[in-house]
Chain A
Amino acid sequence: MAQPKTLFDKIWDSHVVDVQEDGTCLLYIDRQIIHEITSAQAFEGLRANRRTVRRPEAQLLVPDHNVPTTDRSLPIENEESRIQIDLLRENAEAFGLPYIELDDIRQGIVHVIGPEQGFTLPGLTMACGDSHTSTHGAFGCLAFGIGTSEVEHVLATQSLIQRPAKNMRVTVDGALPPGVVAKDLALAVIGAIGTAGGTGCVIEYAGKAVEDLSMEGRMTLCNMTIEGGARAGLVAPDQTTFDYVRGRPMAPKGAAWEQAEAYWRTLPSDPGAAYDKEVTIPADSIEPQVTWGTSPEMVLPISGSVPDPSGVEDANRKRSLERAIDYMGLAAGQALTDIRVDKVFIGSCTNSRIEDLRAAAAVAEGRNVAEGVHAMVVPGSGLVKHQAEEEGLDAIFKQAGFDWREPGCSMCIAMNGDMLLPGERSASTSNRNFEGRQGPGGRTHLMSPAMAAAAAVNGHLSDHRDLI
């Protein structure tokens, strides 16, 4: 009998073009998504070397990082942003690549629109010049975040030079308690393994709590995989996956669908497949999580308090904790629920899908944003925005005093003018709480959409379960 294989092994093995003597592989890449921030220099490189795009139809271009989330009928004020967005369109035209315009209802964050359009499919390999490409692993799609040189490499050769990753499995047994969602699970995993816990690995998420997640939840979980240092995240495709993908504009249809689904059903890891690293987390032990510091691993249950570095032995670690507490303007031992916020951001490739907006709206409904707090909701795509408006979520948010905006990366990366001012503090559904990530001197606490909405209405970090 053949050696049992993991989901990762199966996708990897079916995409190896060439293996060198030293073990370096050339891996075929089925799809690439391209945005305006990490691609200009790649296209410049192609031009400089008189190279062409090998497979234009395998690319999808959309602006997202640097786009205004305010009135789209107005010209983009920031000149550099405008140049970058215009250049993306020019490159799409020059090389004949599929491109979604800023004013197209399909426009949105790369990791929201790929799945939405059916561009992301199980069993494929995918790349994008963005670390959160791990998101697409929710579909059992092997998806890598890459740099600009590699974007150029994929454009020119439809492949990447790689070595096989190690197999790591994170098993979450049992059921998540009520009010505990994928974001809490993702943060709890990073808290457990650390920000470098997945280095060199592809993490496969397994167990009942993962199987029970919706596609939106699985995308949140896989999205945050890069914050645990892994090359990619994966969830085995199942009926939940197929139900989401079926009927999407770029998904296979008719007989091709039948053939594809039959193949996708063979992808889950074989019984007895070996993993290099295994972590098990009981789902019922997880509470709603918030980060207190400046790395996603600096995370605690909302019932916790800011840690005390005085007992930490390792000098570098201790210094890092002290620096984080100082930067965040907190005190050791302070209850997390005592932390007041200035801004609330509900959005990003982690948490801007319809389910996320519903969860936030359920908390916001019939309440008001606390005085002095500015809370914004930025849908992940024009289609998410449209659906939310059909469901009346925009009215709930606006009634409660939230700012309802146009889709984009917005204050997750703070390139487009949506940002924290020095010293300001946010409750954010995004993925990174690094120093200055949401603006120089800004302080970020990461959490789920319902938790962010609870922070908005209470004016401080709160357990959203107390508002249900």
Chain B
Amino acid sequence: MQKFTTLEGIAAPFPMVNVDTDRVIPARFLKTIKKTGLGKHLFNELRYDEDGTEKPDFVLNKPAYREARILVAGENFGCGSSREHAPWALVDFGIRCVIAPSFADIFNNNASKNGMLLIALPQETVDKLMEDADKGGNARLSVDLEKQRIVRPDGETIDFDIDPFKKHCLLNGLDDIALTLQKDDRISAFEGAHKAAQPWA
């Protein structure tokens, strides 16, 4: 997994609430058997007309935000389907961090397996960052995962919480299957006891 340590870049304002993963990437792009190349379908319906031309009003089509690395979003971002294609599409586009008041659980897990940092902050704080994001290329945010800190364009800092294990994995780019396989003996021991207690399981 790609490490996440620090990130500095343009943040795109995306104030919509309850952004579902069908909106992040519609189901018809799930016929792929690869993880790569999904960025071009990110937010497909919002981003393109029926004939495939870009909608100029959509935030990521505006010149100021084409290189955005961060999204500042509304509450319950990533609800709905478990498709990991959603974080694959975001990361492939170049978005490595989403800041919102809350995230849906499955999306939250999926993002962390793909080197993507989700930061949950109170609505008032997200509103401030949304104002920064509205300024386009004139306002860059920086995120430091080790320090759990966001620095606003005016220098103000905002601290955030993160699950310590997710932080550890993101900072070091750890493959959690490899980590779990180190506990293979414990899994085997559990399996033996479990099988004895619940032979049908």
Contacts and interface: CB of A to CB of B under 8 A. Distances in A.
Contacts of B35: 41, 148
Interface stretch (A76-84, A93-101, A347-355): A76-84
B164 to A, nearest CB: 4
Contacts of B32: 80
Contacts of A301: none
Interface string A119-145: 001011000011101000000000001
B119 to A, nearest CB: 16
A66 interface: yes
A440 B22 contact: no
A231 B82 CA distance: 11
13 contacts: A14-B197, A22-B165, A37-B30, A145-B82, A153-B180, A157-B187, A196-B75, A297-B18, A316-B75, A320-B16, A414-B28, A432-B80, A436-B26
Contacts of B114: 149
Interface in B143-201: 163-165, 175-177, 180-181, 183-184, 186-187, 190-191, 194, 197-201
Interface in B8-36: 15-18, 20, 22-23, 26-28, 30-35
Interface of B: 15-18, 20, 22-23, 26-28, 30-35, 45, 50, 74-76, 79-84, 87, 102, 104-106, 109-110, 113-114, 163-165, 175-177, 180-181, 183-184, 186-187, 190-191, 194, 197-201
Nearest to A146: B82
A44 B36 CA distance: 13
A158 B181 CA distance: 10
Contacts of A105: none
B23 A153 contact: no
B22 A161 contact: no
A196 B31 CA distance: 28
Given A153-B177, A196-B75, A435-B45, A415 B183 contact: no
A195 interface: yes
Closest 6 CB pairs of A and B: A147-B84, A147-B110, A149-B113, A80-B31, A252-B200, A40-B33
B15 A316 contact: yes
B164 A22 contact: yes
Contacts of B87: 147
A263 B82 CA distance: 32
Nearest to A41: B35
Contacts of A220: none
